[in-house]
Amino acid sequence: MEENQSWDEFLVPYQQAVEELKIKLKGIRKQFRKENLHTPIEFVTGRVKPVDSILAKAELRNIPLKHLETDMQDIAGLRIMCQFVEDIHEVVRLLRNRNDIKIIEERDYITNKKESGYRSYHVVFEYPVQVIEGEKIILAEVQIRTLSMNFWATIEHSLNYKYNGEFPEDIKLRLKRAAEAVFQLDEEMSQIREEIQEAQHMFSYSKRSSTEETENKKQP
C-alpha cells in the first residue's frame, strides 16, 4: 500500500479481480451444464478481505503496509465448492490450464490435512487487472473444497471467534472427530457415485447388446 493512498483506492483492483474471476468460474460451470456434463463446480463465492482483517493479519505476520501487495496473498479471496473430492482435483487441473492466471503456490490440505482437521485445496496465483494506469498484477487465493468440508470449516471458523482461537482440548478433539466424519462422508458419497455410474454403464451396455441381438434375429 502506497503512502497517502486510501483504503478504498487500494482495494479497488482486488474488488475488480474478485468480480471478474467469479464471472469466469461461473462461466466454466455453465459450459459443463450446457454440454449436459457433470460440473466440478457447484458454486462460487468471493470476497475482499475487510480492512480490519488486513491490519490484524499484517500485525500478526509482521507485514509492513507498504508490502501488502507482495506479502499478503489472500486480500482477494475466492471459494469454489464441489460435490465430490475428485471434483476438487478437476478444478485444480482447470486452473492450471488457464492462460489468464499464473499459479505461484498450491497447498494441498486434503492429502495433508491441518492439525485441526481442516481440509481444503488452496491455490495462490497472480491475476492481471486492467486499471486506468494500465495493467496491475495482484495476488489472489482460491480455496477449493467439498460442500461438507465447507460446512465444517464455516462452523469451526465461527467457533474460533467465540473462543478467541483457543479451544479447550475436548472441543479440539471433537472438532477433529467431526472433520474425520465429514471426510468419511465425502468418500462414501464418491463410492456411491462410482457404483451408480458403473451400474448405469452396465445397464446401457446390456440394453445396447439386447437391441443388437434383436436386430440380428430380424435379418434373414
The predicted-structure confidence for 155-165, as pLDDT tens digits, reads as follows 998 888 777 77
Looking at the chain, how many residues does it have?
220
Mean pLDDT within 184-211:
78
Of 174, 132, 145, 157, nearest to 81 by C-alpha is: 145
Find where cell 468440508 sits: 149
* Residues in Cβ contact with 106 at an 8 Å cutoff, skipping those fewer than 6 apart: 92, 121, 122, 123, 124
pTM for the full predicted model: 0.86
User: Distance between CA atoms of 27 and 21, rounded to whole angstroms?
Assistant: 10
Longest Cα–Cα distance in the chain: 90
List active site positions: 141
| Higher-pLDDT residue of 41, 168 | 41
Helix axes 169-218, 147-162, angle to 10 degrees: 170
Mean of all residue pLDDT scores within the chain: 91
Nearest-Å Rg of the Cα atoms of the chain is 23
pLDDT classification of 3: cutoffs 50, 70, 90: confident
CATH fold for the domain made of 7-148: Beta Polymerase; domain 2 (3.30.460)
The percent of residues in the chain predicted with pLDDT above 70, rounded, is 91
Q: Enter the C-alpha cell of residue 92.
A: 485444480
pLDDT given for residue 120 in this prediction: 97
Q: Positive or negative, the Cα torsion across 98, 147, 160, 52? A: positive
User: Distance between CA atoms of 140 and 25, rounded to whole angstroms?
Assistant: 14
User: Distance between CA atoms of 173 and 179, rounded to whole angstroms?
Assistant: 10
pLDDT given for residue 126 in this prediction: 98
SS3 assignment, position 199? helix
Tens digit of each residue's pLDDT (9 = 90 or more) over 201-219: 776 655 555 555 555 555 5
Tens digit of each residue's pLDDT (9 = 90 or more) over 101-138: 999 999 999 999 999 999 999 999 999 999 988 999 99
